[in-house]
Structures are given as structure tokens and as C-alpha cells.
Amino acid sequence: MNTLSDPPRIIMHADMDAFYASVEQRDHPELQGKPVAVGGSSARGVVSAASYEARQFGIHSAMPSVEARRKCPDLVFVRGNMALYKKESARLLEIFQDFSPVVERVSLDEAFLDLTGSTRLLGPAEAVGQRLRKKVRDVLSLPVSVGIGPVKMVAKIASAGAKPDGLLEVKPHHVQTFLDPLPISRIWGVGPVARHKLEESNFKTIGDLARAEPASLQGLLGEWGLEIARLARGEDFREVEPYREAISYSEEHTFTNDIFDLKKLEPFIREHAESLGRRLRKSKVKARTIVLKWKSAKRTGPGVRGYPVFTRRVTLSSPTDDGRVITNAATSLLHKNGPVTAVRLLGVGCTGLTDETADQLGLFDAEEKTRRSTLNHTLDQITQKFGNRAIGELSVNNQEKAGLSTQVKRGDD
């Protein structure tokens, strides 16, 4: 099974330059070289994309059209054609998928690609990035910028730095030098509130945060502070989640009393994992990615949303419907990068669902997996007849069980 201590990953973030505006300039040669805004030109209109020529006047997306017009009287407004952009986006996704089987689409014009497994076949990451850029240019006649880094956040910041129409690779040993001078707002999850708190304590750059004592950031922002400290050091545990992972299974429950001892969380993980395994087998699907989620008991804001939520995930080398495999994966996430403060809610989820029956079995795993699958099938039959309590594996007491909630989530496409 793969773990978070695998060799450095190679993540690419590909982001089209001024996507809607570029499509318009491509299809209407008279617009090329001119400042173009896609959006409504009426009194209440808003710019949804600005060409690079328009950006030189300080025009950007989400700006009121009236203001944009004032900044650049020659600005050409184009109404835009969402159906066309969607069609071009689908072609773009196909190109991305030629370069990696693990593509996470973030929006119509932007995606993460995990190249970790592809470079042996395709060559060094930078060359792959340049080939991808050329292919997008050849097929769609549109510019795309590419950022490459060992983690998602760095790849994303790098693609922004590569714009327009460029490529920037940040090698693992350059990550800290790359991040250090950037403003703290470039860290994912640092919104206006956290930024204000951090700036008041004299944290201005990512480097300031990377050098800070994590405990002092924890004092300011609770467990988020530790997360931010990790991100500032370029440690980002988020994996690239393929597009098809929109559908997921998850279970979670809120504890009657907050739990701090990680060992005490293990039986809850096991119970959720076994239950997820049963649901996967019932639906005849397997999951490739296991997610551990928790809510810190330490409030960082008012209301029910005041408790920060954390997730950790790991992608397995082959998909599973076995509760024990899910348990092991989630338990190892718990101990490697799990909660550092008391927990009020814990959940386990599975994504990356697949109905592939052609499981790529490792030679040594094959026999064990067949044995487990026979066992699970038998257990499922017993459960169906007598209920979960018939099986001695479950150790979570009834009072806690009462808080259990299950859900099948369906994400946006």
C-alpha cells in the first residue's frame, strides 16, 4: 500500500490564460491584440474574463463593467458563449488525460495532473509540461500556463507565476526559497480574517510563517495555525483527485465528549470503515482513495461552523472494498498527520469509486485478497441475517453509535 512517505510527487497545475477572452480572440481575429472583456456591458454588468491587453489597464474578472469602461474607454465588450466554452473545456480535459490518468479538474479552464507515475514513460516533468502546452496550442489554438511542483499548492502558485503563456517548475529543494518572499495570502485557506490576525502579529510573508514556532501560530488560529505552518513549509498533503471522484461514500459521527487520545479514535475508524466496506460491496464498487476527516474541538469562530474541519487522504495502489484495508489506511492517516487537538467529530470516506473488476493484483497480494473477499462475502451474509451486532469486531458503545450519521454524497460536476 502506498503511504504519505512515498518519494516526492510531481504535480502539474495547468491553467488557461484569460480563457473566455482567449476563445473570443481566437474566433474573432478582429479582436486580437485588443482589450477585450467578456461579460455584460450594461450598468449592472460584471466582467467575467479580461484579455491580457485589457489587464494592462487594471481590468480583471469580477470588476463592474462600468468601472472597466472607465479604466479603458476602448474596451471591447463581448457577451460570451458559455456553451462554446464548455465544449472547449471538454476538449481540453481530453488533452490533459493524454498526459496523466490522474487529472483533477478544478474549473472549466484549470486542472491538476499527477505526473508522479507518468515521468518514467513521458520524460522529465518540464518537457511534459512543454509538450502539453504545445498540444493545447496545436489542437485548440489557445494559450495555457503550467506550474509544476511537489505539492498542489506550490504547483498552483507556480502556474500563476508562469502567466501568461509560460511554464514554471519548482523543484522540491527550491520550494522554500520560492515560497519565502510571497505574501501570506497566497497560502490556501488564509482568508481576510486569518490574514488580519497574522498581520497584526507581524507575519507578512510565507517565510515569516515557515520560520515561526508552530505553537505560536496554533495560539493565534487554533489547529488551523498548525495547518498553515505546514503549508508555509511546502507540506501539502492534498492529493490530486481525479474527475470521476465526484461520487463518494462517507460516514461520520459527533462524539458526546471530545476525544483527544488517538488510540481511542481507532475503534470508531474501524466501525466506519467496516460499514463503508459493506456498502461498497453491496453497490459492487471499489474505492481508490480513503479519506479521514475530523472536526477540531477548539473553536476558531462563532456558530456551528466555528469548529475547523480537517481532511487527510491517501490513494491506494489498487481499489478496495475491504473494511480492513480502509481501516488500515485511515488509521495510518490518523497517526501520521492526524489531529493534534481534541476532536469533536470523526469521519471516514471513500472516493475514486470504480466498478472495474479487473483489479491489478500484485502477485503476492492475490491470494490474500481472494481469501479476504470470501471472508467479507460470508460476513455480509451474516450481517444481512442478524445485523451488525452479530459480528464481534465492533467495539463502539451504543451511546456513541446513536450519533452516527451516514450519507452518500454527490459532488458537483
Which residues are near Mg ion by CB under 5 A? Answer: 15-16, 109
Nearer to Mg ion, 109 or 274 (CB): 109
Q: How far is the CB of 110 from Mg ion (least distance, A)?
A: 5
Q: Is 126 a catalytic residue?
A: no
Nearer to Mg ion, 48 or 376 (CB): 48
Catalytic residue among 110, 239, 241, 251: 110
**What residue has cell string 507556480?**
158
**What residue has cell string 496550442?**
137
The CA distance from 24 to 78, in Å, is 8
Helix/strand/coil (H, E, C) string of the chain?
CCCCCCCCCCEEEEEECCHHHHHHHHHCHHHCCCCEEEECCCCCCEEEEECHHHHCCCCCCCCEHHHHHHHCCCCEEECCCHHHHHHHHHHHHHHHHHHCCCEEEEECCEEEEECCCCHHHHCCHHHHHHHHHHHHHHHHCCCEEEEEECCHHHHHHHHHHHCCCCEEECCHHHHHHHHCCCEHHHCCCCCHHHHHHHHHCCCCEHHHHHHCCHHHHHHHHCHHHHHHHHHHCCCCCCCCCCHHHHEEEEEEEEEEEEECCHHHHHHHHHHHHHHHHHHHHHHCCEEEEEEEEEEECCCCCCCHHHCCEEEEEEEEEEEECCHHHHHHHHHHHHHHHCCCCCEEEEEEEEEEEECCCCCCCCCCHHHHHHHHHHHHHHHHHHHHHHCHHHCCCCCCCHHHHCCEEEEEEECCC
Q: How far is the CB of 107 from Mg ion (least distance, A)?
A: 8
Largest CA distance in the chain: 75
Nearer to Mg ion, 109 or 227 (CB): 109
Nearer to Mg ion, 143 or 352 (CB): 143
Nearer to Mg ion, 163 or 230 (CB): 163
Vertex 328 angle, CA 266 and 318, to 5°: 155
Closest CA to 343 of 219, 252, 274: 252
The dihedral formed by the CA atoms of 391, 397, 403 and 407, expressed in degrees to the nearest 10: -20
Q: Which residues pair with 293 in a beta bridge?
A: 311, 347
Nearer to Mg ion, 59 or 330 (CB): 59
Nearer to Mg ion, 16 or 330 (CB): 16
Nearer to Mg ion, 162 or 187 (CB): 162
Q: How far is the CB of 42 from Mg ion (least distance, A)?
A: 25
Q: Which residues are designated catalytic? A: 110
